[in-house]
Amino acid sequence: MARSGKSLRFEEAEFQDLLTLQFGDRRTFLALSLLYPGMDFRNEFHLDHIFPRSLFNHPNLEALGLDPADRESAITSCNRICNLQLLEGPINAAKRATLPASWIESRFPETSARESYRLRHDLGELPGELSQFRTFCAMRETRIADRFRELLGVPQTHL
């Protein structure tokens, strides 16, 4: 790349843009496949919402006591990379609107399999309630940022 005058260096602003990738942006699938390698792409994969997108509606969010601005923020965050994972199509179809903790327990009955999956996908503790979404998303975004920094060689910034 250097010989052609192109750089593979990422500036901090470009790096931060990666953390705001959204569902519907074709780069999101590519970013997740780079972050979490080892998938057999001979199978059909979907971008899955870890917390189901169908739960992010105004009545559900209002029931949590969120003001209008926080409701809009949650709806936007639901589609960000911190709430997305790659799942095989049939698995995603079966998952439907299941909350993360329930899904992982039904998908991986053995504790060691659950732990392995959570570690491989930077999921941390998977919440069983929509009220825990913002905390989950913030923590997963930090783990994704760390993984991106390592993968792309972007140094840690100190504020």
Question: Is 6 within the bounds of a domain?
Answer: no
Question: Is 126 within the bounds of a domain?
Answer: yes
pLDDT tens digit string along 27-86?
999 999 999 887 777 788 899 999 999 999 999 999 999 999 999 999 999 999 999 999
Structural element, H or E, at residue 63: helix 58-63
Per-residue pLDDT band for 156 (boundaries 50, 70, 90) equals confident
Per-residue pLDDT band for 158 (boundaries 50, 70, 90) equals low
Structure token pair of residue 107: 């998908």
Per-residue pLDDT band for 24 (boundaries 50, 70, 90) equals very high
DSSP 121: T
Per-residue pLDDT band for 2 (boundaries 50, 70, 90) equals very low
Question: Is 147 within the bounds of a domain?
Answer: yes
CB 139 within 8 A of CB 83: no
Beta-bridge mates of residue 85: 48
Q: Indicate the number of domains in the chain.
A: 1
Say what the pLDDT of residue 3 is.
Answer: 60
Domain extent for 107: 40-152
Question: Is 144 within the bounds of a domain?
Answer: yes
CB 78 within 8 A of CB 53: yes
Question: Is 53 within the bounds of a domain?
Answer: yes
Question: Is 93 within the bounds of a domain?
Answer: yes
**Dist. CA 68–CA 58, nearest whole Å:** 8
